[in-house]
Amino acid sequence: MSDQAFVRSEIIEEQTPPLTAFGLVGWLKSNLFSNWFNAILTFISLYFIWYVLSGVLPWIFLSVWNAGSLSECREIATATWGDSHGHACWAVIKDRWIQLLFGFYPSELYWRPILAFVLLLISLAPVLYTSVPKKIFYLTAVYPFILPWLMWGGSVWAYVSALLGFVLGYAIVRYTSEIVGQLGAVILSVIGAIVWWLYIGPLLLSQGVGAILPLALEPVISRDFGGFMLALLIGVVAIGCSLPIGIVLALGRQSDLLILKTISVWFIEFIRGVPLITLLFVASTLLNIFMPPGTNFDIILRVMIMVTLFASAYMAEVIRGGLAALPRGQFEGADSLGLNYWQSQRLIIMPQALKISIPGIVSTFIGVFKDTTLVSIIGLMDPLGLSQGIRANAEWNGIYWELFAFIAFLFFIVCFSMSRYSMYLERKLQTDNR
Amino acid sequence: MKKSFVLGTLAVAGLAAGAAAAGTLDDVQARGTLNCGVSTGLVGFAAPDANGEWSGFDVGVCRAVAAAVLGDAQAVEFVPTTGKTRFTALASGEIDMLARNTTWTFSRDVDLKFEFVGVNYYDGQGFMAPKELGVSSAAELDGATVCIQTGTTTELNLADFFRSNNMSYEPVPIETNAEAQQQYLAGACDVFTTDASGLAATRATFENPGDHVLMPEIISKEPLGPLVRHGDNNWGDVVRWTLNALVTAEELGVTSANVGEMSAGTNNPEINRLLGTEGTLGAMLGLDGDWAKRAIMVGGNYGELFEDNIGEATPIGLARGLNAQWTDGGLIYSPPFR
């Protein structure tokens, strides 16, 4: 019967896919030219990229590195390419990069901020990576005291005394809480630490041991701080302090204790309600007027406190978001295990809440770090402030893009690393089955 | 961490602050450095070099005062101030004097409670336009777009000028001088207006300065000078007469080169009084007899400071103009040293 349908009796051999479906061509076809509309978009995008790069790349790479002034740069560019337009003058960076990094910090003491930075990386390592030996935590614990000593100099004993005050406070809590109860122990430890800081410590260490063993670094005044070092210093302190303060504020806001809750809410809402720049103006001008004339409350310290407070308020809200995302069962589970408030926070609530908040926390960190450039408006010599100072020299007057590009590059390195680390951390801590 | 910072740096800052209740002169001498407020960077007037060493016309005044009071022109702590922080920095005592081309106005002198000790630069608002525009006088600017910094006295002066001349203009508001330069070069406005010294400095940075002309009209008075706080007249006298000493030195022909020779004694009694070989002018100020000599030796007399920092030999290339000595038809005039 001839009307029988076709039945294949043998299987056709495997064939290579058509040329347009695999390899480079296939990828291009499926991703860039899948239909006429995408093809047009591809061409427009390509043209746009080419247009930007053709302007930027020659500017960056066909540039002048060796010149003493902007006009010399222009002469060299004109002699080399026939036109001084569209060629960067990196000579200004070559001339001033040290200043852009360190400000007016005395050049023979550059090792101190560099050492402080290296120690910062080392003491951060155990916090950031679990594979690092835990013993380094001891360095992390004393680093907050090493940093100001290295940066500002002065007698080491003032910082040792400050450190011992904390040790003393901890010891009091540890050994008296069984006798006088937890609250009593905390009150005692605060009193003990304050007495130590104000009376015993200075007497014993600064004057006693300090006189016998004067271990001091040459003091550097805050006005000499500047450049990227200043941005990093303010950023690190604000980031380092704002996380714990933010956690406390977030917990305070969720607390049942009325006064604590009210204070936290008002603090957060007030700080978030005003721009950082007004806080900086308060730090730089208003505080000066409130305080008795002649008191010279360090300007960088004032700025650090303000930036820290600012960052803490944002941090508190980010962490509150993390807390709100936790199911009610987690809190109840912690209670049912018989854990007290701090134990449940430390062991169950915070690890989860912080993990949820990582992207928000890191965004806040990055934002705070970039906000440090605002200090140029109150006359501190951060990289942007210095760029104005550099431009005020007759040799470099009129140079803009090169300085801004360099500063942007410095900030990009730090912010991009933070962002990549947070992605690494998120991947590492991912426990759900999404 | 924060607590340790407070304690640690307070300890350091506490040492530096010391006691401060006596007169500013005593404070400065006890401290051993002069805290002088300057601009965060203004071409020719104040700028840090690659080593962080400040120089400029305003900086020269600070150094002269430091030399007169402390005997060391390097004993100056330069405090960069912005337009917004300068007055509080002075009022709060963070700085001892402000030399940051600040215009002497009634309200600043009276209401803000400062003491302008003199004028070291007579400035005024001018206009700059591209040569190809074919404008040679500000009177021909009817209908022009003007790049102008917002929130400054220049903005008000501009409005007054155009209104009183029955002309119209379109303002292009701009935040900073740096931005203004870029906008002007990009052709966003026909004319750029700011203080004449700033215009000259800006034009000097252009790739082709010759393509731009400065209009001859100056439409406002901007007397710039150093200032101190109200209430410490002795300190105000020290700064005022240090500035006057520089001006008088130029008038009498005392320069940084010949001051050593002249301080041995001359036939001109005023020079002798200035340099302390006759009379006790220094002691009246609470300083020693050589104070003016030291001030002049730092950067030279007023004329030398002018020529070295902003004069015609520098890229900024400002002519003396109003800032010539009164004997040459300018306004620079010091009361006599007697």
Interface predicted TM-score (ipTM): 0.82
**Total domain count for chain A?**
3
Predicted local distance difference test score (pLDDT) of residue A434: 53
Measure in Å the smallest separation between the Cα of B47 and chain A Cα atoms: 5
B88 and A159 within 8 Å at the Cβ level: the answer is: no
B40 and A385 within 8 Å at the Cβ level: the answer is: yes
Other beta carbons within 10 angstroms of residue A193's beta carbon come to 21
Both tokens assigned to A151: 């940066």
Mean pLDDT of all residues in B75-94: 88
Mean pLDDT estimate for chain A: 88
Q: Could you tell me if residue A357 is inside a domain?
A: yes
Mean pLDDT of all residues in A57-71: 91
Mean pLDDT of all residues in A355-376: 93
Percent residues over pLDDT 90 in chain B:
55
Question: Are A286 and A163 contained in the same domain?
Answer: no
Question: Are A243 and A273 contained in the same domain?
Answer: yes
Tens-digit pLDDT profile for residues A121-168:
999 988 888 888 888 888 998 999 999 999 998 888 888 888 888 888
Question: Are A198 and A267 contained in the same domain?
Answer: no
Percent residues over pLDDT 70 in chain A:
97
Mean pLDDT is lowest, of A64-68, A291-295, B45-49, B288-292, for: A291-295
Predicted local distance difference test score (pLDDT) of residue B239: 96
Mean pLDDT is lowest, of A287-291, B27-31, B272-276, for: A287-291
Listed in order, strand segments (DSSP E) in B49-178 are 54-55, 76-81, 97-103, 114-116, 121-123, 125-130, 144-149, 169-174
Tens-digit pLDDT profile for residues A211-253:
777 778 888 988 889 999 999 999 999 999 999 999 999 999 9
Predicted local distance difference test score (pLDDT) of residue B151: 65
Question: Are A161 and A293 contained in the same domain?
Answer: no
End residue of a domain, out of A200, A217, A234? A217
Question: Are A233 and A209 contained in the same domain?
Answer: no
Tens-digit pLDDT profile for residues B216-225:
888 998 899 9
End residue of a domain, out of A169, A202, A217? A217
- Please state, in angstroms and rounded to a whole number, the distance separating the CA atoms of residues A275 and A269: 12
Question: Are A402 and A290 contained in the same domain?
Answer: yes
| HSE-up (13 A, CA, CB side) for residue B53 | 5
Question: Are A233 and A380 contained in the same domain?
Answer: yes
Better pLDDT: B311 or B83: B311
Question: Are A167 and A274 contained in the same domain?
Answer: no
Pairing of strands B76-81, B34-39: parallel
Percent residues over pLDDT 70 in chain B:
93
Q: Find out whether B318 and B199 touch, Cβ atoms under 8 Å.
A: no
CATH code of the domain covering residue A413: 1.10.3720.10
Predicted local distance difference test score (pLDDT) of residue A293: 61
Question: Are A249 and A267 contained in the same domain?
Answer: yes
Both tokens assigned to B337: 């040293």
A293 and B12 within 8 Å at the Cβ level: the answer is: no
Other beta carbons within 10 angstroms of residue B71's beta carbon come to 14
Better pLDDT: A316 or A429: A316
By Cβ distance, the residue of A286, A291, A392 closest to B47 is A392
A298 and B9 within 8 Å at the Cβ level: the answer is: yes
Closest CA to A226 of B51, B154, B232: B51
Chain A residues whose CB is inside 8 A of the B45 CB are 392
Question: Are A423 and A291 contained in the same domain?
Answer: yes
Mean pLDDT of all residues in A269-281: 92
Both tokens assigned to B315: 């890229």
Q: Could you tell me if residue A250 is inside a domain?
A: yes
- Three-state helix/strand/coil letters over A24-92: HHHHHHHHCCCCHHHHHHHHHHHHHHHHHHHHHHHHHHCCECCCCCHHHHHHHHHHHHCCCCCCCECHH
Predicted local distance difference test score (pLDDT) of residue B248: 95
Mean pLDDT is lowest, of A60-69, A73-82, B203-212, for: B203-212
B178 and A391 within 8 Å at the Cβ level: the answer is: yes
The parent domain of residue A330 ranges over 97-105+222-429
Question: Are A184 and A168 contained in the same domain?
Answer: yes
- Find residue B128's DSSP bridge partners: B192, B214
Question: Are A246 and A394 contained in the same domain?
Answer: yes
B155: confidence class by pLDDT, cuts 50, 70, 90: confident
Mean pLDDT is lowest, of A78-92, A156-170, A174-188, for: A174-188
Mean pLDDT of all residues in B83-97: 88
Mean pLDDT is lowest, of B28-42, B69-83, B148-162, B304-318, for: B148-162
Percent residues over pLDDT 90 in chain A:
50
Give the type of residue at A216: A
Q: Could you tell me if residue A12 is inside a domain?
A: no
By Cβ distance, the residue of B2, B52, B88 closest to A285 is B88
- By C-alpha distance, the chain B residue nearest A300 is B9
Predicted local distance difference test score (pLDDT) of residue A24: 82
A394 and B44 within 8 Å at the Cβ level: the answer is: yes
Q: Could you tell me if residue A396 is inside a domain?
A: yes
Mean pLDDT of all residues in A16-21: 75
pLDDT value at A1 more than 70: no
Does the domain formed by B125-220 have CATH 3.30.565.10?
Answer: no
Delimit the domains of chain B by residue range. 22-122+223-328, 125-220
Q: Could you tell me if residue A406 is inside a domain?
A: yes
A221 and B77 within 8 Å at the Cβ level: the answer is: yes
Cβ-Cβ contacts under 8 Å between A and B: the total is: 179
A45: confidence class by pLDDT, cuts 50, 70, 90: very high
Predicted local distance difference test score (pLDDT) of residue A433: 57
Chain B residues whose CB is inside 8 A of the A401 CB are none
pLDDT value at B15 more than 60: no
State the CATH architecture for B22-122+223-328.
3-Layer(aba) Sandwich (3.40)
